[in-house]
Structure formats: structure tokens, C-alpha cells
Structure 1
Amino acid sequence: MKRNWEALQQTNEERERIWRKTRSFAGDVWSRFRKKPTAIAGFLIIVLLVLFSVLGPLFTGKSYSEQDLNAANIAPRIKVFETPDGNGWLYITQSMKLLRVSAEGEFGEQLSKLREDSERQMLIFDYEGSELGLYYGKKPYLVVNPDTLVIAKSRRIRNRDYLLGTDSLGRDILTRLMYGSRVSLVVAFVAVIVNLLIGILYGGISGYLGGNVDEFMMRIVDIISTIPLTLYVILIMVLLGSGLGSIIVALGSVYWVGMARVVRGQVLSLKQQEFVLAARTIGSSTSTILFRHLIPNAMGAILVTATMLIPSAIFMEAFLGFLGIGLKPPLASLGTMCNDATENLRSCPYQLFIPAFVIVLIMFAFNFVGDGLRDALDPKLRK
């Protein structure tokens, strides 16, 4: 079949037109950021951690400071013994007490103790009119009938009342983990905001004015940098005392040094550009050039540096809490939880592993986001 092909009419304006969808700078950054799986994973982890720490305590129904010594050191997965009538289960606490446990793993009332049989190393409890024996020798177990020494059947079930177990004072680890994550995130974000304000202002002024002003301001930064960071923060904490405010002041007063150096370097490289010379030519003031031209163009490096400072601040807060100079009891933070867990590390290792895992998770998440922002804000990667 014969077809007649005709050339389309095309003007010179259409030939010169670039057929590409226009995109803003923010849209371009987001487009490159979302192409990195680790950055998206880190961002989702941060969002989930924020929801976990802010909204989580509303659903647990427990307080971070509520103590129940009868439920101390209960693991997330517990070993229970069947009752004589087979209608429930009993749990042996570390203090050699018996607690009722439902088939769903929820704790009930405590059985009353009748007497102690020291010869057979048993504690006798009352269960609905009959006697139960608790052998407290090398490996505790439940004896259904103290006379015949029949051992009750046992199994392991999930702890429904305390999903992540309890600590040495019977406090819910899940609830304390939520509050601890909240404290760590608040400390990190507030410290970074303070660092941004001080670091941007200090580094911007130093880099733009240059000369003797720059030399003097940078020598102050060098003096602060020579002091060991951990020693300086601990000294500030000792002088101001324990508490959330003291931690924020301690971190905010020293973490701005790195930000100031980054901003200074960016300003030094940008202030000789043509747009800065044009702004000077039209009579723009120093503050206008600095805050409307130089700082916005250096925002990429500033955001990446701020993102990298957050995990460092979280780790420092956890380290201070682990040393015992962080928050005052009974307030919870990831560091204080790790400190409390060292007493029962061999018998209850989960009390240390859970908050330590959250610390590692937070640090990896922010590092992944910072790495993704660094690539997304790099103009050399724009195609």
C-alpha cells in the first residue's frame, strides 16, 4: 500500500525550544535524593523514630518512671509453668515469687507464700487451696505436688504486658525507650539549631571580612578545637549540673566550631564571584551580601554538615548518660538506659542491646540522609 509522507511544518522558534519540563532547585534536589535507596531508607527510619518517640507513649499505657519490683528483670520472652488445673501459667520472678500469666502472655496477681522448706530447698505457695512447690536450687522450677515432686510442664511464650521486657526496677523498657529516643532527638535537634545560628554567623563574618578579623576569629576557633571535646563537655556538665538544659548548653557551646569552619570556607570561595561584585557595585550593605547572597549559596554544605552533626550530638548525649552525668533519674535517655543495664548485663543482656541498637539505628539513619543530601546538593551531578 502506497503512503504519502508529508513533512511537518516547524518554525524556527520550535526548533530552538528545549523540550524539557522545568523543575525548581528543590525539585531537582529531591529528584536526585530519592534515587539513592540508602538515603530514602534513612529518611523513613528518622520519620518512624520521631513517630515512635512522640506518639508511642500514648499507646503503651505505662509511664517511664512507674516501678513494679515484683516484675523486675522480666525478659521479652519468658518461661512459664503450667498450673495444676491446666487453666493458666505461672512465672517465676528473680525474687522467687510466682505470678499468674494468661495464655496470651499477660501478667496477673501474685500467689501467696505459705512457708519455706529449707531441707528440700523449696518455697511452698497456695494455689486455689492446693500447695505448689518452687524449687530454688541451682535451676529454679515449679513442682506441682511437693509430696510426689511432680514437675510442671513448661514452655516459652511472648511477654504481652512488657513487649521489650522490664529493667531492674520493674519499669517498662518499651516506654522508657520511647522517652529516651525523644530526649536524644530533642537534644540533637536543639543543639544543631544552636550550632547553625552560631556557626553560620561566626564563620560568615570571619570569611567575608577576612584580614586581621579573620585571623583573630579563627585563632579562637583553633584554641577551642585544641581542647578535647569530651573533656570540655564533661567540664561544662559538672559546672552546670545534670539535666536536659545543661546538656543542650554543653553541646551548643562547642559543636559550632566545625560549622563555622565550613561556612568560612564556603564564603571565602564565593565572595570573589561575579554576583558578589555586582552586589557591591550597586551599593548593597555587608549584611545584605552576607545573608542574601553568600549564605544561601552555601546552604548545601551547611545542610550536609548539620545532618552529620546530629548523630554526633546523639552519641555524645548517650555517652554522658552512660557516664552517669546526663539526665537526672527517673528521666530516661538512651545513655541512662545503657548505664542502668550494665548491672545485669550477664543475666539480662537485652536491657543493654535494645537501647544500644536504637543508638546505632539513629546514627546510621542520619549518616545515610547526610550522604544523600551531599550528593543531591552537588551541582556537578546535575544533568
Structure 2
Amino acid sequence: MKEAKFVFIETKIEGAESTKPSLTYWHDAWRRLKQNKSSMIGIIIIFLIICFGIIGPYLTPYSYSDQVNEYRNLPPILKLYKADDDLYLHVSKDYNIFKVSKDGRLLERLQLDKNKRDIINKIYVYKYGDEEIKLDFSYNLLPTKQGYDYDYTIEYKGQVLTEPWSSKLNKKFPFGTDELGRDILTRVMYGARISLLVAFIATFVNLFIGVIYGSISGYEGGRVDDIMMRIVDIINSVPLVLYVILLMVWFRGRGLTNIVIALSSVYWVGMARLVRGQMLSLKEQEFVLAARTMGVSKMKIITRHLIPNAIGPIIVSMAMMIPSAVFTESFLSFIGLGVSAPMASWGTLANNSLPGLTTYPYQLFFPALSIALTMLAFNFVGDGLRDALDPRLRKG
């Protein structure tokens, strides 16, 4: 019997190192981005804010313009006074008395008896069924009563209340109400829609203009590059925010369209400079020379070879442009050049809260917090993308 010329051996060899599957550029970038905890936190915050603005308004019973005047200037946390076993009262900064449930749900505003109020001695009388509730808020106003630890007292059935029984979250208006009785939570949700919509549209328009402009300038070079970059220098000679303000004034109107046009008209210059620098370094590579030799058109070389190779810095720059656009839109709305009333972006809400800032600070806190969280989240993501898309760190 003839011996076999070939002998099969086991494919698995002990001690041999197992090779890992090769990762593409984008798979490797995503792997490193996931390792950046601050970037992942930023992505989660951005996702929650987008859901907050898109889905949130459908979950509230109010719109951004609904006014409930009897509940104006109410805080998100209610201080309750226990007047009876089933009677809990809250006194607003406007010296209105509200009947509140034990868990913090507003039930009704008590009616003021104008015939029995004493304006001179700062005593108001409110009706509660057949009973009266007397509110004395003269302790910080009249010299004879100054020096007490409380600002007012509530008298009901001979019992005088000076200290609140408990503090409860406002179940009806979780973020409180403004001077017209509008729900701040709902208005912040609609403000998220406006601010993010303007920011995203303006950013993508700036991305498109900046990439095209910078690609042509960097690839052509010579006199074309000089002329195009001098135009950019002229635009950069004046602060871009001032350009936007002048354009908004020139439009003589407020609205989303005018804000997007104003932001898109000048904010592309930073992207154009970045892309031009990338084009100047990439156009000297061998693959560009090979494409030229094969007769590929300039437009195809730019769109199919140069821009895809510069996509990493472009994405990072775009992520950094979004918080800048959010802040600029909020600033324009803050100075009165934003959307028209009763619509409100975060900047408009911040502007409306200024007259009562010392008395009702919560009206400024929530829109300001929304702006800060959005900008912080996008900056976290931008920093993570910058590290993840850096080709020098691929082996790290």
C-alpha cells in the first residue's frame, strides 16, 4: 500500500497569534470616539435635546402662545402653607394666594375682596367659601413692622401662619410661568425647535458654500486663489456678528428665513479657509497627478478625490460651527432681531426674563441652561471627533 504524499495537519496551531480583522477608517474613528466618555455624554445630551424639542410639545397641554393669566409668575417650586387639614396655600411674588393640593398641584386662585383690602397698611383679604384669608405683607414695607424674619403672614380662622409647611414641585407648570401666564416648559421646548433648526440649516448652508469656495480656491491656486482669498480677508476684517446684525437691520424684518440668510451669508469664511488649506496639501499628492494624467475633469477630482480625503477636518469644523450658530441665533433674539412674538427662541426667552430677573430668576435660568447644555454638548462631540478622525492617532 502506497503512502500518502500529503498529510493534513490541524489548522489551529497552539501559540500562534490570532490576527484581528482590519478596520476601515470610519470603523476605527467610531471605535476611538466611543472610548471618549465626554463625547458620548455630549451625543446623549444632543439626542435628548432634539427629542425634547421635537416630541416634547406634543406631551404638554399648552402651546407656546397659550396664556393663563390667573397663573402668571409662578415658580417651579411652590412653598405651601398648611391652613387646615385639607387646605394648602401658596403665596406668589405678586401677593396672589393659590389653593394647592398636598402634592403640589395648583387647584385655583383665590379671589381678592377689593372692598376689604387695605392698601395703606398692606393687608389683602381673599375669599375662600364663606371664610376669609387675610394676607399681611407689610413686614418689610412699614417701619413699625420691620425686623421680622418673614415677609408676610397668612391669617385663617384666627390662626396666623408665618413659616411654610413644605416645598413641592409645581406639578401643573414644572418650569413655572412667565408674566403672561405662559408655560415656560412648553416655550423652552418650542425654543429648542427654533434655535436648533436655525443652527442646523445655517451650518449646512455654510458647509456647502465654504467647501465649494475653499476647494476651488485651493485647487486652482495662483491668481484665482489670491482674488478669492482677498474677498475672504475683506469679510474677515469686520467681526462676523456685526455683519449679521447689519444684515438683519437691513432686512427690516424678523423671522427664521432672514436669520438663516444672515448667518449663511458670512459664516462660511472659516470653513473656506480650512478647506483651502487641505486642498493645497492634497493636490500635490500622487493620486491627483494620476487622475490628471487620465484626463479626469477638475470637478471630479475635487468632488471624488480631494473633498473625501479632507472630510475629517470638515466634519470636525462643522461640529464646532453648530454651537457657534446656536449662540449667534440666541444673541440675535436676545437683542430683538430674532423671531417675531409670540414665537420664542431661547434668546427671546432670556430677553423677556430680564425685567423680572431679581424677582423671577427661574424665567432666565431654564433658557440659559438650555443654551449652555447645547453648546457644551456640541463642543464635547467636536473635541471627540477631532481626536477620532486624526489619522496620526490611528495606531494609538
Aligned partner of 2:193: which letter? R
> TM-score scaled by structure 1?
0.92
RMSD: 2.1
CA distance in 1, matches of 2:95, 2:219: 70
* Structure 1 position 223 matched with structure 2 position 224: no
* Structure 1 position 151 matched with structure 2 position 161: yes
**Secondary structure at 1:205's aligned position in 2?**
helix
**Secondary structure at 2:89's aligned position in 1?**
strand
Match of 2:335? 323
Deviation at 1:272, TM superposition (A): 0.6
**Secondary structure at 1:91's aligned position in 2?**
strand
1:285-342 deviation per Cα after TM superposition (whole angstroms, max 9, x unaligned): 0111010000110000100111111111111111111111111111111111111111
Query: Does the CA-based 8 Å contact 1:72-1:94 persist in structure 2?
Result: no
Match of 1:107? 106
Query: Does the CA-based 8 Å contact 1:71-1:93 persist in structure 2?
Result: no
CA distance in 2, matches of 1:18, 1:217: 53
CA distance in 1, matches of 2:78, 2:276: 57
Deviation at 1:257, TM superposition (A): 0.3
**Secondary structure at 1:249's aligned position in 2?**
helix
Match of 1:190? 201
Match of 1:98? 97
Q: 1:133 to 1:28 in 2, by over 3 A?
A: same
Deviation at 1:79, TM superposition (A): 1.5
Q: 1:316 to 1:160 in 2, by over 3 A?
A: same
Aligned partner of 2:87: which letter? G
Query: Does the CA-based 8 Å contact 2:214-2:271 persist in structure 1?
Result: yes
Match of 2:5? none
Residues paired across the two proteins, number: 370
* Structure 1 position 134 matched with structure 2 position 115: no
**Secondary structure at 2:207's aligned position in 1?**
helix
Deviation at 1:17, TM superposition (A): 10
Query: Does the CA-based 8 Å contact 1:144-1:152 persist in structure 2?
Result: no
Aligned partner of 2:224: which letter? V
> TM-score scaled by structure 2?
0.89
**Secondary structure at 2:353's aligned position in 1?**
helix
**Secondary structure at 1:337's aligned position in 2?**
helix
Match of 1:74? 74
Specify every segment of 5 or more residues in structure 2 that has no aligned partner in the other structure, as ranges.
1-7, 141-150
Query: Does the CA-based 8 Å contact 2:153-2:160 persist in structure 1?
Result: no
Query: Does the CA-based 8 Å contact 2:71-2:109 persist in structure 1?
Result: no
1:243 to 223, 241, 255: 255
Match of 1:366? 378
CA distance in 1, matches of 2:179, 2:126: 24
Match of 1:376? 388
Aligned partner of 1:196: which letter? L
1:176 to 187, 190, 203: 187
1:333-363 deviation per Cα after TM superposition (whole angstroms, max 9, x unaligned): 1111111111111111121122112111111
Match of 1:199? 210
Q: How does 1:335-354 map to 2 (within 5 A)?
A: 335-354=347-366
Match of 1:55? 55
Deviation at 1:168, TM superposition (A): 1.7
CA distance in 2, matches of 1:78, 1:220: 57
1:268-295 deviation per Cα after TM superposition (whole angstroms, max 9, x unaligned): 1000100000101111001110100001
Aligned partner of 1:263: which letter? V
Aligned partner of 1:312: which letter? S
CA distance in 1, matches of 2:265, 2:322: 15
**Secondary structure at 2:116's aligned position in 1?**
strand
CA distance in 2, matches of 1:356, 1:110: 30
Q: 1:70 to 1:141 in 2, by over 3 A?
A: farther
Identity of aligned residues (%): 48
Match of 2:41? 41
CA distance in 1, matches of 2:104, 2:387: 48
CA distance in 1, matches of 2:110, 2:314: 61
Deviation at 1:94, TM superposition (A): 3.5
Specify every segment of 5 or more residues in structure 1 that has no aligned partner in the other structure, as ranges.
1-7
Query: Does the CA-based 8 Å contact 2:152-2:162 persist in structure 1?
Result: no
Deviation at 1:173, TM superposition (A): 1.1
